Structure 1
Amino acid sequence: MADSVPSDAVNSVRATLARAGRTDRPKVTVPDEETDRFPEFEVVRIGTGDSTYFARVELAIDDTMELRGLYDNARLAKEGDGENHLPAWADDNNLDFGRTVHLDIVDEGFFYGLRAPGERVVYRVPDRPDDGLADIAEGIEEGSQ
């Protein structure tokens, strides 16, 4: 069963809502001194209070760690395919490029929270998947490529 964790009970990283290249698409950039708290090139769960999404932790060309989107499942996050919920989240919170956002470290390496400055959120933390089942799923995914 999932636990409920308030945002004020966890450590938080001050990240930035930035423009992805020359587009109007947002991304979340992680400060260099905090990158060790995020698993590079892995898909993590991101809670926004209302919903839980999946995001791939990536490195930009300039070696900045970033999250380029919020997706409905891990496969879509890996591929950057399907609906990206990050633009809607930014719009719903009236956030412009350059604004600080908070990445809450709820379960490091697995579940993080994303919230607007000054917002308090209670996250529903999902249970970690069984390692054996995750290994099987990963093996099947790799075999189908």
Structure 2
Amino acid sequence: MHDRVPSDHETVVSHRVHLSTVGRTRRKQLVLPDSLDCTLDDVVSLSLEGDQVWTQLTASLDGEATIQGAFGTRQLARTGDGDDELRAWLADHDLQDGDALVFDVLRTGYAYGLRRPGERIVYSPPEQPDSSLADIARDLDT
């Protein structure tokens, strides 16, 4: 069972981030705040204004932690195959390079949310699996 948490709840830590692009590809990315406790290459839950997707944390050309895409499953997030839900969400809201967004920390190291400034969202973050089960799943993927 998932707890529902509003974006303005005291347990949600919010960070203002800005949309940027990757080099000449002009592919959109979100550079995450340095203060986040996250590990590159981890696949984490990301709620796009309430819709849960999965993203793999990657490094920018400058070595900063970024989100460059989001997908329907953990496996698709690892491979980058399938429909990029982040790209579609950004296009649906006509968000461009330099636009501000709010990055919410729902469960440190596992579940995050993304929303437009001024929007209040009620999240349903997934529970983090037992670490031993996650390790087994990660070993099976390699």
Normalised TM-score (structure 2): 0.89
Give the corresponding residue for 2:86.
Answer: 86
Percent sequence identity is: 36
Unpaired segments of 5 or more residues in structure 1? Answer: none
Letter in 2 for 1:79: T
Structure 1 window deviating more from structure 2 (57-66 vs 115-124): it is 57-66
Equivalent runs, 1:3-22 vs 2, <5 Å? 3-9=3-9, 10-22=12-24
Normalised TM-score (structure 1): 0.87
Per the TM alignment, residue 47 of structure 1 is displaced from its structure 2 partner at its CA by: 0.7
Task: Judge conservation of contact 1:6–1:123 (CA < 8 Å) in 2.
Answer: yes
Distance 1:138 1:40 in 2: 14
Give the corresponding residue for 1:27.
Answer: 29
Give the corresponding residue for 2:124.
Answer: 124
Per-residue CA distance 1:66-88 (angstroms, 9 max, x = gap): 10001111121122222111121
CA RMSD of aligned residues (A): 1.5
Count of residue pairs the alignment pairs up: 140
Letter in 2 for 1:95: L
Give the corresponding residue for 1:65.
Answer: 65
Distance 1:140 1:63 in 2: 28
Task: Judge conservation of contact 2:111–2:125 (CA < 8 Å) in 1.
Answer: yes
Structure 1 window deviating more from structure 2 (44-53 vs 100-109): it is 44-53
- Give secondary structure in 2 for the equivalent of 1:106: strand
Give the corresponding residue for 1:53.
Answer: 53
Q: After TM superposition, where is structure 1 displaced by more than 4 Å over at least 4 residues in a row? A: none
Per the TM alignment, residue 24 of structure 1 is displaced from its structure 2 partner at its CA by: 4.1
Larger proportion of helix:
1
Unpaired segments of 5 or more residues in structure 2? Answer: none
Per-residue CA distance 1:93-117 (angstroms, 9 max, x = gap): 2311111111100101000000111
